[in-house]
Amino acid sequence: MKPAVEAKSVSKIYETAGHAPVKALDNVSLAIAENEFFTLLGPSGCGKTTLLRLIAGFEFPNGGHILLQGQDIAHLPPDKRPVNTVFQHYALFPHMTVAQNVAFGLRMLKRPQAEIGDSVRQALALVKMEAYGARRPSQLSGGQQQRVAFARAIAPHPKVLLLDEPLSALDLKLRQAMRLELKRLQRETGITFIFVTHDQEEALTMSDRIAVMSAGHVQQVGEPLAIYESPVNRFVADFIGDSNFLDGAVVKTAKGGALIKVAPNFLIETSAAGAAKGDKVSLALRPEKITLAQPVKGLPRGVVREAVYIGNSTTYMVEIDGGIGVTVRESNSLSGQSHFAVGDRVGVVVEAGAARLLAG
Amino acid sequence: MQRTQISAWLGVAPAWFVIGIFGVLPMLIMLGISFMVADPYGGVEPAYSHEAYIQFLFERDLDDSLIFNPIYLNIVLRSVGLAAITTALCLIVGLPVAYFIARQPESRRDVLILLITIPFWTNLLIRTYAWILILTRNGVVDARLQSVGFEAGTFDLLYTNTAVLIGLVYSYLPFMVLPLYASLEKMDFRLAEAASDLYANRWRVAWEVILPLAKPGIVAGCLLVFVPSIGAFIAPDLLGGGKRMMLGSLIYFQFATARNWPFGAAVSILLMAFVMLALLVYARVNKGQGLPAGGH
Ligand SMILES: Nc1ncnc2c1ncn2[C@@H]1O[C@H](COP(=O)(O)OP(=O)(O)O)[C@@H](O)[C@H]1O
Ligand SMILES: [Mg+2]
């Protein structure tokens, strides 16, 4: 099956008079499958909105192609693309009621009156806003406006729905509820979602696949598990969750595994990923993948320098003998106590395969 | 409580004073004059008469019977017609201009708005005289077009309704552009983007989103053009040659030349009544719509 949306070597440069040109997208290639919940994740300014605007047709690429179900859509203006957007700022029409807002796209498509009525009712029911059809957007709360914006974008049954940080203006509880809601809506409508966020938790909980972006480049594309567990580079490992970054040298390789020495008495076993003996490499190691033990012989040992209680777990900064420091996160005991205190001597356990070899 | 009421009254007293002296009093004087008898040497004789209002519609025959005389009614109709066309033309020209300015980068907008107001720096009379030079036989337009083969006088536009219209549109265009700009400038153009995302082509975006949101500016601009142009007298007088009289020039003529103050005052009162009626209708129509002026 052809991908729903495909970006082929897309570049976008903004030229503003009196400013240096900004390279918002640099040679970006992506293929987004039919019915996929695909997330663009990256820090502010990395080009996420720009990519959506290129797909919607509000901007034109300086290089490359954008394909919709295999067709190049370069020549199509926004109103001819079967793609709808849920804008970050909602952009509801203030002079129309909620129902008129939702009906707008269908009316522009010249659908029969009866069909418009039905579709509007369905779309409002989908977002549980049936009771608000006669209201003006200014009479709604932020969360309700967000739902209406969603209903408006989905009512014409677009092939692809673009969502630009639609939850960022909502408070935490509402945001968490809306995550599940959006996921449900995507399943029920079967529409391909391209969802933009800078919130890694949002991306991990909702997406089928995630593209991690930084500075106009796609760093890694993969399922949430792969992105979290196997970040390909330091940027991804750092942006998604917390990581310890450890530099070391390969001392032994065998059967697809490698032994890496990061401190005199501290050896970590990982999958080799093409490393050869003697190579200088970097490892990413999640704090929750390290366990602390009694400082018995044979383990790398160190001292707890800091212990930060965060409810169900405690984060420790451990200084390992020989100079390097690692962050460790451990669940607390049943009574809620931390297992270790500042100044305790501890042993550090890293299971084989817990750390990731980073490229570059 | 008493004291706060009194001080509240004292607070707004200057405003009432100004409104009274500069607004209400002159109108009362006009109303009074319109019910007096003309002094042939100018001014009025202090005697009651409603003859001025009768004169507006009727002529007196030799035997004092009233004959319907449509000449002034015609002037009213011409004035309303010209003012309406002027308003429509100003809107058609002004909308794209205001839209263009509103879409410019902020620094350039201020310069362009300044340029729009530059005509106000010179007296309207002088600027209208300049139009005589442009529109007359062998004038700027006629001469230019002669040189490309038109016969002399083909574009002798002076003293025509067209000339009056040109003059009126020229005079009042800024009054249309400024309020239009004010409402377009604070409009959220991302709404236009949202509309085109929802399958609206350019015309539909303008019709469904931009015009409705610019409506307060459109209404204000139309009022600011229609009301003064219905009573205009410089353009009709200079460019229409007095042949194409409008209400403003009729009033001017009655006071300055015909020395019939009561009739001039009566026409003024009728004009004012008409304008107020138009405003009332507008207020009625617009009531309860509560349109926000722009985005959120
Ligand atoms: N219209 C524009 N003109 C100039 N620069 C822009 C414009 N839009 C975005 N940019 C720049 O392009 C880069 C990417 O922006 P954007 O796609 O909005 O990022 P994101 O949505 O990931 O925060 C930023 O550096 C931003 O400043
Ligand atoms: Mg953005």
Tell me what the mean pLDDT of segment B143-163 comes to. 79
Query: Relative to the CA of A50, which ligand 1 atom is closest?
Result: 17
Task: State yes or no: pLDDT of B292 exceeds 80.
Answer: no
Q: According to the model, what pLDDT value does residue B295 have?
A: 37
Least Cα distance to A313 among A330, A327, A288 occurs for: A330
Confidence of residue B160 (pLDDT cuts 50, 70, 90): confident
B197 touches chain A (CB under 8 A): yes
Alpha carbon of B210 to those of A199, A246, B192: distances in Å? 34, 57, 7
B225 touches chain A (CB under 8 A): no
The alpha-carbon gap from A259 to the nearest alpha carbon of chain B, in Å, equals 54
Q: B283 alpha carbon to ligand 1 midpoint, in Å?
A: 45
Instruction: Give me the torsion for CA of A25, A27, A31, A36, rounded to 10°.
Output: -20
Query: Relative to the CA of A165, which ligand 1 atom is closest?
Result: 21
Q: According to the model, what pLDDT value does residue B29 have?
A: 92
DSSP assigned state of B210? I
* The pair of three-digit structure tokens given for residue A192, joined into one six-digit string: 């391909």
Q: A90 alpha carbon to ligand 2 midpoint, in Å?
A: 13
Task: State yes or no: pLDDT of A353 exceeds 50.
Answer: yes
Q: According to the model, what pLDDT value does residue B293 have?
A: 39
Contact A40, A162 (CB under 8 A): no
Least Cα distance to B72 among B289, B270, B238 occurs for: B270
Confidence of residue B168 (pLDDT cuts 50, 70, 90): very high
A248 forms bridges with which residues in the sheet? A281
Q: CB within 8 A of A58, min separation 6: which ones? A: A78, B193, B197
pLDDT digits (tens, 9 = 90+) for A95-150: 999 999 999 999 999 999 999 999 999 999 888 899 998 999 999 988 899 899 99
Query: Relative to the CA of A19, which ligand 1 atom is closest?
Result: 4
The alpha-carbon gap from A227 to the nearest alpha carbon of chain B, in Å, equals 32
Q: According to the model, what pLDDT value does residue B287 have?
A: 63
Q: According to the model, what pLDDT value does residue B35 have?
A: 92
Q: According to the model, what pLDDT value does residue B26 have?
A: 92
Give the per-residue SS3 of A116-147: HHHHHHHHHHHCCCHHHCCCCHHHCCHHHHHH
* CA separation for the pair A247, A261 (Å, rounded): 8
Confidence of residue A156 (pLDDT cuts 50, 70, 90): very high
Q: A133 alpha carbon to ligand 1 midpoint, in Å?
A: 35
Query: Relative to the CA of A42, which ligand 1 atom is closest?
Result: 22
3-state class (DSSP) for residue A40: strand
A14 lines ligand 1 (CB under 6 A): yes
Contact B212, B191 (CB under 8 A): no
Higher-pLDDT residue of A93, B237: A93
User: Look-up: residue for tokens 């009739």?
Assistant: B263
- Chain B positions in Cβ-Cβ contact with residue A91 (cut-off 8 Å): 188, 190-191, 193-194
- For ligand 1, atom 26, which residue shows the shortest CA distance? A45
* CA separation for the pair B121, A10 (Å, rounded): 53
Alpha carbon of A106 to those of A73, A94, A103, A189, B243: distances in Å? 21, 18, 5, 17, 55
Is A95–B213 a contact, with Cβ atoms under 8 angstroms apart? Answer: yes
User: What is the sign, positive or negative, of the torsion defined by CA atoms of B248, B252, B257, B259?
Assistant: positive
Task: State yes or no: pLDDT of A251 exceeds 60.
Answer: yes
3-state class (DSSP) for residue B162: helix
A12 lines ligand 1 (CB under 6 A): no
* CA separation for the pair A199, A192 (Å, rounded): 20
Nearest to B197 among A84, A92, A94 (CB): A84
Contact A152, A175 (CB under 8 A): no
The alpha-carbon gap from B138 to the nearest alpha carbon of chain A, in Å, equals 46
A258 forms bridges with which residues in the sheet? A253, A270
- For ligand 1, atom 14, which residue shows the shortest CA distance? A47
* CA separation for the pair A234, A241 (Å, rounded): 12
* CA separation for the pair A347, A339 (Å, rounded): 13
Confidence of residue A19 (pLDDT cuts 50, 70, 90): confident
Domains in chain A with CATH codes: 5-238 (3.40.50.300), 242-357 (2.40.50.140)
Nearest to B196 among A79, A137, A138 (CB): A79
Q: Where are the domains of chain B?
A: 68-285
For a pocket test of ligand 1, which of A11, A13, A14 has the largest count of ligand atoms closer than 8 A to its C-beta?
Answer: A14
Mean pLDDT of chain A, nearest integer: 88
Mean pLDDT of chain B, nearest integer: 86
Q: Which residue of A has its CA nearest to B202?
A: A79
Higher-pLDDT residue of A332, A217: A217
A44 lines ligand 1 (CB under 6 A): yes
- Chain A positions in Cβ-Cβ contact with residue B206 (cut-off 8 Å): none
Nearest to B204 among A108, A137, A152 (CB): A108
pLDDT digits (tens, 9 = 90+) for A169-204: 778 888 888 888 888 888 888 899 999 999 888 999
Nearest to B291 among A77, A95, A108 (CB): A95
* The pair of three-digit structure tokens given for residue A316, joined into one six-digit string: 């420790």
Environment class of residue B68 by beta-carbon count within 10 Å: exposed (0-12), middle (13-18) or buried (19+)?
exposed
Tell me the percentage of chain B whose pLDDT exceeds 90.
32
A312 lines ligand 1 (CB under 6 A): no
Contact A160, A191 (CB under 8 A): yes
- The DSSP H or E segment spanning A196 is strand A192-197
Is A156–B198 a contact, with Cβ atoms under 8 angstroms apart? Answer: yes
Query: Where would I find the H helices in A156-274?
Result: 172-189, 200-206, 224-229, 234-239
For a pocket test of ligand 1, which of A22, A46, A60 has the largest count of ligand atoms closer than 8 A to its C-beta?
Answer: A22
B296 touches chain A (CB under 8 A): yes
3-state class (DSSP) for residue A102: helix
Tell me the percentage of chain A whose pLDDT exceeds 90.
37
Q: A24 alpha carbon to ligand 1 midpoint, in Å?
A: 6
Q: B53 alpha carbon to ligand 2 midpoint, in Å?
A: 68
pLDDT digits (tens, 9 = 90+) for A82-97: 999 999 889 999 999 9
* CA separation for the pair B285, A345 (Å, rounded): 83
Tell me what the mean pLDDT of segment B111-133 comes to. 89
* CA separation for the pair A146, A314 (Å, rounded): 37
Tell me what the mean pLDDT of segment A194-217 comes to. 92
User: CATH homologous superfamily of domain B68-285?
Assistant: MetI-like (1.10.3720.10)
Task: State yes or no: pLDDT of A276 exceeds 80.
Answer: no
Tell me what the mean pLDDT of segment B87-99 comes to. 94
3-state class (DSSP) for residue B37: strand
Q: According to the model, what pLDDT value does residue A259 have?
A: 82
- Chain A positions in Cβ-Cβ contact with residue B194 (cut-off 8 Å): 85, 87, 91-93
State the complex-level ipTM.
0.80
Is A108–B291 a contact, with Cβ atoms under 8 angstroms apart? Answer: no
A335 lines ligand 1 (CB under 6 A): no
B291 touches chain A (CB under 8 A): yes
Q: According to the model, what pLDDT value does residue B238 have?
A: 86
Confidence of residue A360 (pLDDT cuts 50, 70, 90): low
Alpha carbon of A55 to those of A46, A99, B192: distances in Å? 16, 27, 17
Nearest to B200 among A79, A89, A91 (CB): A79
Q: CB within 8 A of B34, min separation 6: which ones? A: B52, B53, B262, B263, B265, B266, B268, B269
Q: According to the model, what pLDDT value does residue A132 have?
A: 93
Contact B49, B217 (CB under 8 A): no
pLDDT digits (tens, 9 = 90+) for B40-80: 787 888 888 888 888 888 888 888 888 888 888 888 888 88
Which pTM was predicted? 0.79
> Which ligand lies nearest to the CA atom of residue A13 in the structure?
1
Is B213–A94 a contact, with Cβ atoms under 8 angstroms apart? Answer: yes
Q: A31 alpha carbon to ligand 1 midpoint, in Å?
A: 22
Tell me what the mean pLDDT of segment A257-261 comes to. 83
